[in-house]
Amino acid sequence: MISKYVKLLLLVFIGFFCLKPKINAQYGCIKNSLEQSYPNFTARLGIDLYYQNLSSLAIFTNLRITHPSPERPVFQLIHKPYGASVFDTVVPQLLNGAWISERLILITDVVVIRPVNPGQATISYPISPYCSPYSKVYTVISDEGVKSDVNFGYAHHNLEGSLRTNDSLSFPWHYNSQPALIDGPPGAQAMLAVQGNGQYQFNANAKGKYVYDIGIVGTTDSVQLYTNRLFITLIDSLDTHARFVANADHIVVDSSGSAALPCLLNDRSFGLPVLVADANTATLVQPPKKGSAAFVSGQLHYLRYANAFGTDTLYYAVCSTGNIQLCDTAMVVIALSPPFANGSCVANDDFLSGAILTSLQGNVLANDACQPFAGATVNAYTINHPSGTFTLTANGDYTFIPSSSFSGPVHFTYQVCTTVGTEQFCDSATLYLFVFPSFTLKLRAYLEGALINSTAVSAQGLPLMRDELRFNPLTQLSYMPKKDPYRYPVIAANGLVYDLSIGTAALRFAEKGAGLIFGFDSITSPSVLLTTGDNAIVDWVFVEMRDKDDAKKVISTRSALLQRDGDIVDLDGVSALAFPNTPYDAYYVAVKHRNHLGVMTASAISFQNLSAVIDFTLPGTPTFDFGITPNYNYTGLAQNKFIVPGYTCLYAGDFDANGVIKFSNPGDDANILTTDVLTYPTNTLFVSNYNAAFGYLAGDYNMDGKAKLDNPNDDQSLLLSQIFLYPINVGIVHNFGGMVEQLPR
């Protein structure tokens, strides 16, 4: 049995005689001619440096790694002892700023020096018993291949994603399957399952921001070298109120020592309404350690200290725009590149949320940092995804048009590159998009004008309004506009123009929120106006969602269609009325019409109860009124309850659409009717008893498709009766001016 000591002597013999090292006669030291001429070397993170036979004239030696900053080591020592079957990681100890191997290294050991942080360090070891330690100065260049990730979703819903989409390293690696939860909502239960390839699934029972650290491990030896930080923000699927999210960013600072990053451009609301960062609120909450930083005109300016290397981190806080500011914090990771680095490109994840049926647009380069940035381009592409169509241009502009039925999260990756000389620097990132679904309203209302003198009833016994604007039995024509009359002028074939988009009417029917979405302005199919019976279309109405805390404030609107039986439906003529781009919340709900006074719920209706029918045709439905005022008592006068027993309807006669019904000058509605008749294109003699003023007219009180000024069956008499019979017109005077719309203004 050969003793261990004999083995060591044999190793020395082999090292000296068999390996035949080159001996410098002058110094008696072993030196490689290349190392003697070029003592400075570069390395990249994760690319191992191998040292074998550190000293050919010694049985063992020590390895010393010296780094000027004691914060974090530049290298990690890993070596495989002689005869061992696996690599053995040694965590060096710190001694006077140097990391020294804790064990003796035999000359036949395989020694691995692994760069784990950017910066400069000196590796020293004896090259013979007769020489001082021989040193190599290494500058470690960061791969900048590991960046934080974000994702967005609903609580109580599975969320999928990939960490690998914007991570790229130059050696075999995988993700640790045991993520560490760093922060999250108190008491929340969350589960994050990570696969080695970076794919993950997440589920949690509470809204808020979750922060995880996931290790990145070298595949060859299972040594963790990096940490990927994942930020996941969840909201409640039944509460789309905006949560403001500040997202992490990364930047490289080169030898110039300074850089500016528009990091606030990917800080925005997750939810509705869409909010962006208010640059005036941005402040540092944890300053960097290796440089100075400040926000200037919405950009983060960083200045590195002299001789600073490695990675620096800072945290900032910022709040949203809007009346009620929402705030969040985010980190910025700064990679300090060595002086000779001639280019870099760091792409940061982007995020944008929006409403269903609306296109999401932005620019992915807005918060990316390439050096030089001029000439940086994005690999352009277009993809037809089941969720919608995504287009990305070379200058970074993107457009996502969701499919009509799609809502939820979707993401797309992109690559940005910049060129220095003949060398190209590229990086990848992910654009996260979230499309919010719309909620729907089920509403019912009657218009007095279309209901008066109508004897028709539905199969269920409900009163039916006339639909003679849709199809006039006298002229065999339809006068119903195909486009929204509250937004566009209605121009008849004879040149007659009816325009609600100007003057007082424009203010009363101003579109907001969902009403501004493209496509919500026209009847979707000609077949809509061909429907007959109970569901035939009577006219367009205007629906408002008003702030739960301030009923004067309109949050979102929709122009909709009214059926004969009182159902208010979407522009396809059958569906419940959708309100995309509107936060799930409690609202006052109001229904208006172009020549009727509007009506509103007496209180804000919670989102959960909005799924039930709000039926303004029933007297028992609570509606808002002004109650007792200094001049009148409006209690119970929100609608007319005397047209059909057991039902209520909107008051007719507001021909000038100003929210007041008035018969006599000044500002009277009778004057509008007179103008409709006397200026009708075919009433060339300007006679007051003209009986052929057909069309879509403001003065058409009974909505039979005709405006008529004189008896019999004229609209003027109906208007006068409306004023005389109004309950608080106790004097029965024709110039009564107190018949006003019962809506807060």
Is there a cis peptide before residue 372, judged by omega within 30 degrees of 0? yes
With a cut of 60, say whether residue 43 has pLDDT above it: yes
Distance CA(677)–CA(690), nearest Å, equals 7
Tens-place pLDDT, residues 459-517: 999 999 999 999 999 999 999 999 999 999 999 988 999 999 999 999 999 999 899 88
Higher pLDDT, 48 or 592: 592
Contact 529, 470 (CB under 8 A): yes
- Choice among 164-178, 314-328, 412-426, 699-713 with the minimum mean pLDDT: 164-178
Give the range among 64-73, 144-153, 636-645, 696-705 with minimum mean pLDDT: 64-73
Q: Is residue 430 very low, low, confident or very high in pLDDT (cuts 50, 70, 90)?
A: very high
Q: What are the residue ranges of helices labelled H in 245-290? A: none
Given this model, what pLDDT does residue 128 score? 56
Please give the pLDDT value at position 717. Answer: 97
Q: Which residue has the higher pLDDT, 39 or 718?
A: 718
Question: Residue 595 has what pLDDT?
Answer: 98
Share of the chain above pLDDT 90, in %: 61
Q: What does the alpha-carbon distance between residue 167 and residue 155 come to, in Å, rounded to a whole number?
A: 27
pLDDT tens digits for range 165-223: 888 776 778 999 999 999 999 999 999 999 999 999 999 999 999 999 999 987 776 77
Under the banding of pLDDT at 50, 70 and 90, the label for residue 20 is very low
Q: What is the pLDDT of residue 231?
A: 97
E strands present in 236-326:
243-245, 249-253, 258-261, 268-270, 277-286, 291-296, 299-304, 310-320
- Yes or no: say if 580 and 571 are a contact pair by the CB < 8 Å rule: no
Q: What is the pLDDT of residue 40?
A: 58
What pTM did the predictor assign?
0.71
- Nearest CA-CA partner of 351 in 592, 545, 152, 601: 152
SS3 helix, strand, coil % of the chain, rounded to 5?
10, 40, 50
Please measure the distance between the N-terminal and C-terminal CA atoms of the chain and give it in whole angstroms. 103
Residue 605 sits at φ, ψ, to 5 deg, of -95, 125
Distance of alpha carbon 213 from alpha carbon 103, whole angstroms:
31
**What are the distances in angstroms from CA 492 to CA 68, 77, 94, 681, 693?**
84, 85, 88, 10, 12
Range from 246-260, 424-438, 540-554, 701-715 carrying the lowest mean pLDDT: 246-260
Lowest mean pLDDT across 144-148, 344-348, 549-553, 672-676: 144-148
